[in-house]
């Protein structure tokens, strides 16, 4: 596989006195952690549902809940700590540690939901909280704290927030979002699709089912050289 940012990576190694062989980007939610499993439990408790991960067959959650819930399905995105206390995905810490030890530059790219910061609601020039709502969430800081706790081998400087992930330099992205996968494919950029019920309509040989498979695929592409091209 051709390393897409080889020139930049060589410069990076010279500047920072490192010897990375490739930069691997991982999405955070539902790749490194089990966000939707966590969120389904919240929805079940709040609305008396019995959702499982297999029921989340649509990226738009309003399509998998009863009509009377509708957009309220996203109300809990305002909950402080929502993105902080999530179970790690199986094998994530050991895989990240092995990849780091083998000479890979690991970065995390995540698209936190907007509209939930402390200053988003204004009264004139002053922020205020609606009645009964004394706190707002801070998804970016939640995610920073989560990475610090569960993936200490990844420095905070390697954590990026944004929707247009294709703008960031990396040699391979692992992501679960259908839109991201299709966009990266359209741009001819390397990506592996983490298998989830909401992306199974995509027919691709780039699908993986867990992080151990991602690790092995990374080794094939960048270490073993058994795959001629991506």
DSSP the chain: ---TTHHHHHHHHHHHT---SEEEEEESTTTTB-HHHHHHHHHHHHHT----GGG---SSGGGSS-TTTGGGGGGGGGSTTTTTS-PBPTTHHHHHHHHHHTTEEEEEEE-PPSS-STTSSEETTEE---TT------HHHHHHHHHHHH-TTS-GGGEEE-S-GGGS--SEEEE--HHHHHHHHHHT--EEEEP-GGGTTS--S-EESSHHHHHHHHHIIIII--SS--
- Flag the least confident range among 15-19, 51-55, 109-113, 172-176: 15-19
When comparing pLDDT for 171 and 1, which is higher?
A: 171
Strand partners, 107: 25
The yes-or-no verdict on residue 162 having pLDDT over 50 is yes
The predicted-structure confidence for 43-57, as pLDDT tens digits, reads as follows: 999 999 999 999 999
- CA–CA separation, 42 and 36 (whole Å): 10
- CA–CA separation, 210 and 94 (whole Å): 13
pLDDT at residue 29 in the model: 97
What pairing do the DSSP bridges indicate for beta strands 191-194 and 126-127? unpaired
- CA–CA separation, 85 and 131 (whole Å): 26
CATH of 6-224, one of 3.40.50.150, 3.90.480.20, 2.120.10.30, 3.40.50.1000: 3.40.50.1000
């Amino acid at each position: 596989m051709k390393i897409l940012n080889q020139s930049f990576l060589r410069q990076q190694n010279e500047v920072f006195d490192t010897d990375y062989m490739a930069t691997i980007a991982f999405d955070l939610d539902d790749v490194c952690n089990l966000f939707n499993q966590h969120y389904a439990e919240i929805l079940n408790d709040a609305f008396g549902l019995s959702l499982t991960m297999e029921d989340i067959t649509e990226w738009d959650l309003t399509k998998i809940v009863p009509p009377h819930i509708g957009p309220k399905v996203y109300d809990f995105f305002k909950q402080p700590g929502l993105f902080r206390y999530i179970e790690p995905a199986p094998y994530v810490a050991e895989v990240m540690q092995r990849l780091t030890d083998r000479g890979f530059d690991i970065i995390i790219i995540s698209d936190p939901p907007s509209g939930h910061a402390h200053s988003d609601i204004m009264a004139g020039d002053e922020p205020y909280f609606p009645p009964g709502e004394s706190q707002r969430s801070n998804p970016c800081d939640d995610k920073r704290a989560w990475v610090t706790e569960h993936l200490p081998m990844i420095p905070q400087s390697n954590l990026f927030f944004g929707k247009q992930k294709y703008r960031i330099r990396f040699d391979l992205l692992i992501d679960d979002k259908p839109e991201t996968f299709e966009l990266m494919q359209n741009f001819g950029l390397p990506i592996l699709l983490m298998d989830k019920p909401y992306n199974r309509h995509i027919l691709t040989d780039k699908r993986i089912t867990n992080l151990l498979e991602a690790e092995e695929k990374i080794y094939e592409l960048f270490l073993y050289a058994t795959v001629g091209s991506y």
